[in-house]
Structure 1
């Protein structure tokens, strides 16, 4: 803890990036633990490689070098003329392979060196092609592609685990790199030399699919355990002959118990339960000679202290329009759009993800999370002030993108470092919309921020003026268009349902009433909240075991399609609506009725908590087998889908758990091109934390804690999904800016139509793409858990 505090201080309290700690990375352990049984050269001569794309390749017997300019004055062949979501092309080398069976090999090993000039994050990408029973790449071009962010430009050895990929009929391998612009538009060059390319059989290959624990490992929460809640770890019970485990502190046994046998729908496991231990401190678990690294038992503020700073570091490093030391200079000053005869600038806020796209709603949500977290750490002035400062960077972006009468600059699709010169070919043109939903949501986020601010905060009066105006514009727009939402699928709110719309409006109106005590807001709140509750299952659906399930929300009052999320996730808005509406109704005219429905929703969250046992991950929700037949809803929820999506939906449901006539629980969402569930489970964890706090339901608070544990180690692969936090964290798809301490990916995915976790080393988008929205949700959930803890104190 002391060393980390010093590291934070050395950055000027995150005014420069935190250093990377590669010693505990997946890749470091991968090389240290490998046991090579056999190997062969992938090719006897690099002379067989073929050039693809921009630039050129140079070949010798022992090497192939990719050479390209960093930018071009034309888009690559076949690209969209407007340059939306593209870079300047790729330089690549391709090796055709004559339908070889690589099943006996488990990894590819290669050496890479670079001689790049002014490149932001030197990297190469590898794509494996397989033409067997399972095709790679898949129909969404996700599987089989991996980005290696280079560790400096000197020669290093890199390993890629292919043991979990179909590789029975390999037809080719491609190595390439994107021409993505250059640092501050200085003349740039890409130069990558690949050598010593081998196929190897590693006897220590890692598992990447399924629920079972890796051999001879203890799966535990790297970020520790709270004294008041459950504390368990998981093993493969067949790996150990011992019948007991030990919990140790400073090499002294403080607790010993039997290893329990847990049989669930996901398999049979050994369960180490040490919930009885509540004394704060540093511990480790041991069975025979197998032991875990150290972990903490402690309060939320202790366990999550490092992760708050690291999340803040990741968000800061994704700043757009601001130089970030060691990553990029001032950027995207040429993101402008014409509005009423003038140009509006759109740089600012934070880059959305591993690419460089920009989303106003995403920035607004992250901004709110920063202020929400700041409110809970006022006893730590350095952290409090730094969170406020970063949040103000977000507020600046929200304000600069406001136009007139509800119009906003909303998003820009960009994956390149532009030249910062307005009027050249690489400019990206942002989108402008007047969306009542977005206006209600952003108004609510700002109102929530205002509610947390001290009275003497410098901008409080101005922010109050903004939310009053924007609420008026949102209401006026809604009265014209109703629940019709902007049909542009690149917007982050595209999948919004009527019930989510109502939850957002009721939540925002409740906050406005609390800020102003103006009766109009409370009347609108009540009307919209009653409308929301008409979208909730009240009577109950009969399940196969004879019980009734209620409390879940549908997409609208027709109760045809359940509300669930597969990428963008705002489940927490239902809980926030309950919280703020109840807070805004002290007389509780409908209080008893609303509390019953709040508890019904809480019951549903409790119900979803059992289906991934003994792991802590929330199941994604309940589905009906006929939902795909509601085409308008289906194609609103699922973007860029192939023609087979409707059939695939039905196949994915059958991999779930049937709980009633036509009813299924899916552990992971039904999804297609966009996969990864961290945002989903953190949103659900936020709902659990809010409902647990306002209804005093301990099981929900426990489950909220456990969603964080899943992300940092307590998953079937024993990996942390936060780079630099915990142990065994892999490189992620952070192709534009490089690896960043605190980066978080979109999340765990599934393979094909299966309903079990899949987490290969391959780090393509979207599942391993870093995403500031996940960091924002992490902060928001941590903040709510601190609130619950303080309430208990």
Structure 2
């Protein structure tokens, strides 16, 4: 195990990437545990493989080699003429398979070596095709594709678990890699050699679907437990004959109790409850010979200290326009757009995800989270200063993308390393919008940053001038267009509802009032907040079990469609609106009335917390069975879908839990192409923590903390979703920059129309795509919990 503190110092406190640590990775354990009972070559000779795409392939009986330049002077056939969101093409090899049934096999094993030159992150992608009852790839081209980020270029063995993939009528397998540009535009070459390709049956394959705990394992929180919050672990009761468990430290039993049997909608489980243990320290759980690795009981500040550094490391490694040691040089200097006769540069901030796209709103939200986290760790000067420094990189991008009168350069769809030369064919043209919503949101994010800064902060006067100007631009735009919000669907705020618009405006106005003490902000805040509450369920819906449910928000005051999120998630803005409006209001009678609405919202969050017991994951929300009939709302919420999605909506809803006439709870969202719920959980966790602190409700704070636990081990697969944090963390879809310590994916998905967790080794977008927005939300939720812990 690496010494984290030494690694941290060696990076200059994250001025170069933390070294990769795969000692606890899923892939390492996968090879160590395997028990192969059947094996056969996938092909007798590689001579039967066919070339697909660009470049060339060289074949022998024992190998196939993929060769290609890293860039071309033209786009691949079928690509958009402007090169939006494409690379230079793929080089690949394809094997046609005569409709074979692979159901008896659980994994594919192959050896890969590389001889790449100036390639940023050598990687190879595998796609499996199935023409059986369930088609692979699926209609969204997500299922059945996996990217292997190579561990160096030397020959290594890699394994791909296919045990949960439909494979009853396999028709083909494709191996390919993308020509994606090269390091600093130096002449580059892709060269990958595949050999020893086998189908195998591994008796130790990993379940990737459902709620039941992994066989003979104890599911626990790898990032530990807070002394004052609940502390549980989970087992499959059928795997253990013992009736008791032990909590130990250094082989000394400190607590022993019965294993409780708990029955829930998700199944029957064994529950190990040690909530009464409050003494900080290092512990492990044991049942007979089965032990967990060590974990801690301690404060949020202590438990999350390493994760804050690791989140910061991931964000830093995604910097755009800045050389990152060992990953890439200065990049994307040719992302420019013409504006009023001049050229505006758009590199900076952070790459959005596993690809290289750039989103202003995403960078702005991450920037705010960095300053928010910094405010809570002033007692740790190295971390405090480094968070501020990284946040200033984000502020620079927010300021450089401001144009005139509320115009902003907002986004660029890009998934390649460009040549940095303005005017060549590989340039990408960013988009420009004047969106009142985006202007209100970014103004609020900057205002929140200013509120946290010391009075003598060098840029504070300039930032205050910016938010005053931008607020007026947002207001002027809103007075012209109202709640109409029509940027193209690639913008990260496309799914914004009227109620979320109102929450954002009220929150921003409340912050502006606190910064300026100018009455007009307070008046606007009050008007918008009152309108927001008209979008909240106040009377209550009668449920089948007699519960009266209220407190949740609808998308608007008509109460036709509930507010829920399926990818982009800003649930926390409702809670932040309550918090800042309470702080900015001088009418105590009014605040007392609003307090009731806040408690109703807290009750709704409490209600959603029960449906995945004994796991801590929040259910995604309440749905009406006829929401799909509101076509304008439906197609705003769900991108890249056709009319088939309307039928799928109804099928997905029936997989949820009916709680009343025409009303359902979905544990996972209704979703289609864009799947993964970490952003949703962290946003809901932030809401719970804010409301818990605001209303002094410990249960909400506990639930907020538990969303972090879900991401790091306390889930049905016992896996950490943060690379390098905890145990059993898998490779993710980080295809452009490679594996990064602290990277976090979009989140766990479902298979097809089901409503149970699905987490295969396959790491395609979007569910396993790394996303800086998740790291930002992690920082924000941790900061909220630390804030309460310190009594702020």
The separation in 1 between residues aligned to 2:613 and 2:378, in whole angstroms, is 37
> Could you tell me which residue of structure 2 aligns to residue 505 of structure 1?
505
Secondary structure in 2 matching 1:600 = helix
Verify: 1:48 aligned to 2:67, yes or no. no
Aligned to 2:568: 568
Report the equivalent of 1:164. Answer: 164
TM-score of the two chains, using structure 1 as the length reference: 0.99
Q: How do 1:451-600 residues align onto structure 2 when only pairs under 5 Å count?
A: 451-600=451-600
2:2/2:21 contact within 8 Å kept: no
Contact 2:433 2:487 survives alignment (8 Å): no
Residue 309 (str. 1) matches residue 334 (str. 2): no
How far the C-alpha of 1:791 sits from its partner, in A, is 1.0
What is the CA–CA distance in structure 2 between the aligned matches of 1:774 and 1:586, rounded to whole Å? 35
Aligned equivalent of 1:126:
126
Alpha-carbon separation, structure 2, partners of 1:6 and 1:309: 13
Q: What are the superposed Cα offsets for residues 739-784 of structure 1, whole Å, 9 maximum, x if unpaired?
A: 0000000000000000000000000000000000000000000000
- Assess, with a 3 A threshold, how the Cα gap between structure 1 residues 744 and 2 changes in structure 2: closer, same or farther: closer
SS in 2 for 1:590: helix
Matched, 1:771 2:760: no
Task: Measure how far apart 1:3 and its partner are.
Answer: 2.6
Q: How far apart are the structure 2 equivalents of 1:77 and 1:4?
A: 47
**1:2 Cα deviation after fit:** 10
CA deviation after TM superposition for structure 1 residue 592, in Å? 1.4
In 1, the alpha carbon distance for the partners of 2:497 and 2:117 equals 48
Find the residue that maps to 2:567 and give its secondary structure: coil
Q: Following TM superposition, by how much is the alpha carbon of 1:674 offset from its aligned partner in structure 2, in angstroms?
A: 0.0
In structure 2, the partner of 1:426 is 426
The whole-number CA distance in structure 2 between the counterparts of 1:271 and 1:642 is: 43
Secondary structure of 2:172's match? strand
Q: Is the deviation greater in 309-318 or in 638-647?
A: 638-647
1:441 Cα offset (Å): 0.1
Structure 2 counterpart of 1:636? 636
CA distance in 2 between counterparts of 1:543 and 1:81 reads: 54
What is the Cα deviation at residue 585 of structure 1?
1.1
2:417 corresponds in structure 1 to: 417
In 2, the alpha carbon distance for the partners of 1:649 and 1:487 equals 25
For 1:677, the equivalent position in structure 2 comes to: 677
- Asked whether the 8 Å contact 2:675–2:749 carries over to 1, the reply is yes
- Counterpart of 1:647 in structure 2 is 647
Question: Stretches of 4+ moved more than 4 A in 1?
Answer: none
Following TM superposition, by how much is the alpha carbon of 1:587 offset from its aligned partner in structure 2, in angstroms? 3.4
Matched, 1:263 2:263: yes
1:396-415 equivalence runs, <5 A: 396-415=396-415
Number of the residue aligned with 2:782: 782
Q: How does 1:620-769 map to 2 (within 5 A)?
A: 620-769=620-769
Inter-partner Cα distance in structure 2 for 1:73 and 1:545: 65
CA distance in 1 between partners of 2:682 and 2:541 (Å): 26
- Whole-Å separation in 1 of the counterparts to 2:554 and 2:767: 26
* Counterpart secondary structure, 1:577: helix
Shift of 1:427: 0.2
Map 1:119-198 to 2 at 5 A: 119-198=119-198
Q: Which residue of 1 aligns with 2:288?
A: 288
Secondary structure of the residue aligned to 2:708 is helix
Instruction: Tell me the secondary structure at the aligned position of residue 679 of structure 1.
Output: helix
The SS at the match of 2:791 is helix
Distance 1:2 1:226, change over 3 A: farther
Cα distance in 2 for residues equivalent to 1:74 and 1:167:
37
For the structure 1 residues 424 and 126, does the alpha-carbon distance in structure 2 shift closer, same or farther, using more than 3 Å as the test? Answer: same
**Separation (CA, whole Å) in 1 of partners of 2:455 and 2:791:** 23
d(CA) in 1 for partners of 2:486, 2:449: 26
Q: Secondary structure at the match of 1:728?
A: coil
In structure 2, what is the Cα distance between the partners aligned to 1:211 and 1:589?
47
Tell me how far 1:486 sits from its aligned partner.
2.3
- 1:250 and 1:761 map into 2 onto residues whose CA distance is 34
Q: Deviations over 1:379-435 (max 9, x none)?
A: 000000000000000000000000000000000000000000000000000000000
Partner of 1:218: 218
Question: Which residue number in structure 2 is paired with residue 13 of structure 1?
Answer: 13
Distance in 2, Cα, partners of 1:210 & 1:21? 29
CA distance in 2, matches of 1:41, 1:2: 37
Q: Return the offset for 1:35.
A: 0.1
Instruction: Write out per-residue CA displacement over residues 648-700 of structure 1, whole angstroms, 9 at most, x where no aligned residue.
Output: 00000000000000000000000000000000000000000000001000100
Q: How does 1:222-241 map to 2 (within 5 A)?
A: 222-241=222-241
Following the alignment from structure 2 to structure 1, what is the Cα–Cα distance between the partners of residues 592 and 25? 51
* Alignment partners' CA distance in 1, 2:64 and 2:746: 33
Q: What is the deviation of 1:586?
A: 3.7
Task: Give the Cα separation in 1 of the matches to 2:230 and 2:2.
Answer: 28
Query: What CA distance in whole angstroms lies between the structure 2 residues aligned with 1:7 and 1:227?
Result: 29
Residue matched to 2:363: 363
* Whole-Å separation in 1 of the counterparts to 2:577 and 2:191: 53
Aligned to 2:605: 605
Tell me the residue number matched to 1:58. Answer: 58
What is the TM-score when the length of structure 2 is the normalising length? 1.00
Report if the CA contact (8 A) 2:222-2:727 is conserved. Answer: yes
- Work out the CA distance in 1 between the residues paired with 2:299 and 2:245: 24
Q: Shift of the alpha carbon at 1:589?
A: 3.7
Shift of 1:546: 1.5
- Matched with 1:376 is 376
Contact 2:55 2:67 in 1 (8 A): yes
CA distance in 1, matches of 2:586, 2:278: 37
Query: How many residues in Structure 1 have an aligned counterpart in Structure 2?
Result: 792
Give 3-state SS (helix, strand or coil) of 2:37's partner.
strand
Unmatched segments (≥5 aa) in structure 1: none
CA distance in 1 between counterparts of 2:521 and 2:69 reads 57
* Residue 35 of structure 2 corresponds to residue 35 of structure 1: yes
The DSSP-based 3-state class of the residue aligned with 1:791 is coil
Question: Which runs of 5 or more structure 2 residues have no equivalent in the other structure?
Answer: none
1:487: how far off? Answer: 3.4
How far did 1:643 drift? Answer: 2.9
Q: Partners in 2 of 1:287 and 1:156 — Cα distance?
A: 36
Cα gap change, 1:2 to 1:119, in 2 (>3 Å) = closer
Shift of 1:646: 0.1
How far has the Cα of 1:498 moved from its partner?
Answer: 0.1
Give the Cα–Cα distance (whole angstroms) in 1 for the partners of residues 653 and 385 of structure 2: 47
Secondary structure, aligned partner of 2:636 = helix
Q: Secondary structure at the match of 2:143?
A: coil
1:591 deviates by: 1.2
Output the CA distance in 1 between the equivalents of 2:70 and 2:555.
Answer: 46
Could you report, residue by residue, the CA deviation over 1:200-225 in whole angstroms, capped at 9, with x for unpaired residues?
00000000000001110000000000
- Superposed CA RMSD: 0.7
Worse-matched range after superposition: 480-489 or 551-560 = 480-489
CA contact (8 A) 2:110 2:158 kept: yes
Q: Deviations over 1:155-177 (max 9, x none)?
A: 00000000000000000000000
d(CA) in 1 for partners of 2:663, 2:275: 34
**Cα distance between partner residues in 2 of 1:364 and 1:671:** 26
